[in-house]
């Protein structure tokens, strides 16, 4: 039986051969890593892979490739990204060829053992947080499916870190965030790895007026992360890439997750859940809660 890698390579070859795509955005393996590549026709497809280190949300590359016909690998949890990007006019869905994959659960790179031989057998204590709580491992819609359908996972209850933070008093929580923010180096990897932070000019780059001082201090860092979280409110699809890419290990996604939950509770809205759903903050429903109006 063909492995998922072989199926994937064959499927991509077919897409190029049939001239259905200009670029393919997928994961490749080399030098001991799995990482994203943007492949054009004529590229060596023999390194294409999909494994437990296929971390990136590849939709991050789509706004830049706008106008081209693009194929991409899309994990189940990332499909919502496509819906949000399409609703916001950033991608043309009819120019995308989505390759659906059964997700084996991604490992947390911070817990990756030095010997990766048993990568496929690592249990949930090694998984990324989102994968522990995953409800469905198969891409719900796709133009091409590869691999064998995965069975329904048994999600873990709750998110320990989030529960820990929520159990804190307001003062404790502020102190905790201050400590986290003292680690931030403002490399902006969280923003740039985020498929929904696609602004051509981010507020952190403006200098007329300069919204944010460049000095790296906890207050400024918190200012940045709060503004970013608010810009993503009702838009974040919780891929947790922001936390994964943080070189100093700040759980940035906690902020986004809390806001996403507020949207679920207040508006019954889950960003990108369906292709048709109107973005919660740009759309008014008669029964939207108005209890914040004094």
Partner 1 sequence: MAAEYYRLSKDKVAELFERARADYDVVAKTRDANGNLVYGRPVSFDDVAFVDEQPPMSAKAFALPQTEALVRYERENDKIRAEGPEAPTRDILIFGVNMCDATAFDIIDRVFRWDYLDDPYLGRRAQTTQFALACASIQQDCFCDRISYDEDGVDAVAYDLEGSYLIKVQTEKGRTLVERYKDLFATEDGDAESSIKAFKEKAGTAKKEPMLESAKPALEKAFEHADWEILASTCIGCGVCTYVCPTCHCFDIQDEGGSSRGRRLRVWDHCTGRTFTAMAAEQPRDRQYKRYRQRLLHKFWYYPERFGPLLCTGCGRCITHCPVKINIRELVEYFGGLKDTPPGGARHGK
Partner 2 sequence: MGNNSERLYVPRLARVAAVVDETPTIKTFRLAFDDGPRPDFKCGQFGEFGIFGVGEATFCFASPPDREYLEITVKNVGKVTRAFHNLNEGDVITLRGPYGNWFPYDDLKGKKLLFIGGGIGQAPLRGLLWTCLENRGDFEQLDLIYAAREECELVYERELVEFEGRDDLAVTLALDPVCPGEPIPGWRGRTSFVPPILEEERPSPEDRVVITCGPPIMIKLVAKSLLEKLDYAPGQIWTTLEMKMKCGLGKCGRCNIGSVYVCKDGPVFNYEQILSFPKEF
Of 101 and 193, nearer to partner 1 (C-beta) is 193
Per rule CB under 8 A, is residue 207 in the interface with partner 2? yes
Residue 210 binds partner 2, judged by CB under 8 A: yes
Work out the number of other CB atoms within 10 angstroms of the CB of residue 133: 16
Q: Which residues contact 175 (CB under 8 A, 6 or more apart)?
A: none
Q: Is 169 in the site for partner 2 (CB under 8 A)?
A: no
User: Binding of partner 2 at residue 201 (CB under 8 A)?
Assistant: no
Q: Which does 139 bind (CB under 5 to 8 A by kind): partner 1, partner 2, none?
A: none
Tell me which residue of 80, 36, 40, 31 sits closest to 55, measured CA to CA: 36
Choosing among partner 1, partner 2, none, which partner's interface includes residue 183 (Cβ < 5 to 8 Å by kind)?
partner 1
Contact 262, 287 (CB under 8 A): no
Nearest Cα to Cα of residue 82 among 291, 237, 197: 237
Out of 2, 174, 185, 199, the residue judged to bind partner 1 by CB under 8 A: 185
**Minimum distance from residue 94 beta carbon to partner 2 (Å):** 38
* Of 201 and 207, CB closest to partner 2: 207
Question: Do 45 and 12 form a contact (C-beta atoms < 8 A)?
Answer: yes
In the window 75-134, what residues touch partner 1 (CB under 8 A)? 114
215 binds partner 2 (CB under 8 A): no
- Stretch binding partner 2 (CB under 8 A), from 49-57, 76-84, 186-194, 206-214: 206-214
Rounded CA Rg of the chain: 20
Q: Which of residues 160-179 bind partner 1 (CB under 8 A)?
A: 179
Query: Would you put residue 240 in left (φ > 0), alpha (ψ -120 to 50) or beta?
Result: left
Q: Which of 208, 215, 287, 290 binds partner 2 (CB under 8 A)?
A: 208
The answer to the question of residue 267 lying near partner 1 (CB under 8 A) is no
β-pairing, 33-40 vs 48-49, is unpaired
Q: Is 216 in the site for partner 1 (CB under 8 A)?
A: yes
Alpha-carbon span 97 to 93, nearest angstrom:
8
Please classify residue 110 by burial: count the beta carbons closer than 10 Å to its beta carbon, then call 0-12 exposed, 13-18 middle and 19+ buried: exposed
Task: Pick from 10, 192, 233, 264 the residue near partner 1 by CB under 8 A.
Answer: 192
List Cβ neighbours of 216 (8 Å cut-off, separation of 6 or more): 184, 185, 186
**Rounded-to-integer distance, Cα 51 and Cα 30, Å:** 13
Size of the site for partner 1 (CB under 8 A): 51
- Total binding residues toward partner 2, as defined by CB under 8 A: 3
Cα 218–chain centre separation:
25
By beta-carbon proximity to partner 1, the closer residue of 179 and 285 is 179
User: Regarding beta strands 96-100 and 144-145, do their DSSP bridges make them parallel or antiparallel, or are they unpaired?
Assistant: parallel
**Considering only 82-90, 211-219, 252-260, 264-272, which stretch makes contact with partner 1 by CB under 8 A?**
211-219
Q: From the list partner 2, partner 1, none, pick the one residue 249 interacts with, judged by a Cβ distance below 5 to 8 Å according to partner type.
A: partner 1
Residues that bind partner 1 (CB under 8 A): 22-23, 28, 30-48, 56, 60-61, 114, 179-180, 183, 185-189, 191-193, 205, 213-217, 241, 244-245, 247-251
């Amino acid at each position: 039986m063909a492995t998922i890698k072989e199926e994937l390579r064959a499927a991509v070859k077919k897409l190029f051969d049939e001239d259905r795509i200009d670029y393919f955005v997928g994961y490749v393996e080399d030098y001991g890593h799995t990482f994203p590549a943007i492949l054009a026709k004529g590229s060596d497809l023999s390194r294409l892979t999909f494994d437990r280190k296929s971390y990136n949300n590849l939709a991050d590359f789509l706004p830049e490739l706008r106008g081209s016909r693009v194929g991409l690998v899309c994990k189940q949890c990332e499909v919502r990204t496509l819906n949000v990007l399409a609703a916001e006019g950033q991608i043309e869905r009819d120019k995308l060829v989505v390759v659906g994959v059964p997700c084996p659960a991604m490992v947390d790179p911070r817990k990756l053992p030095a010997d990766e031989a048993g990568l496929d057998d690592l249990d949930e204590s090694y998984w990324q947080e989102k994968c522990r709580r995953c409800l469905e491992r198969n891409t719900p819609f796709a133009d091409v499916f590869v691999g064998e359908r995965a069975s329904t996972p048994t999600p873990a209850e709750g998110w320990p870190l989030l529960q820990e933070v929520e159990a804190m008093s307001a003062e404790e929580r502020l102190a905790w965030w201050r400590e986290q923010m003292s680690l931030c180096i403002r490399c902006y990897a969280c923003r740039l790895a985020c498929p929904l932070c696609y602004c051509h000019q981010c507020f952190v780059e403006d200098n007329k007026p300069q919204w944010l001082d460049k000095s790296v201090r906890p207050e400024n860092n918190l200012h940045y992360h709060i503004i970013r979280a608010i810009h993503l409110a009702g838009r974040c699809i919780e891929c947790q890439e922001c936390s994964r890419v943080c070189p100093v290990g700040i759980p940035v996604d906690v902020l986004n997750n809390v806001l996403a939950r507020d949207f679920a509770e207040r508006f019954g809205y889950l960003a990108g859940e369906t292709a048709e759903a109107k973005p919660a903050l740009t759309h008014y429903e008669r029964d939207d809660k108005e209890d914040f109006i004094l």
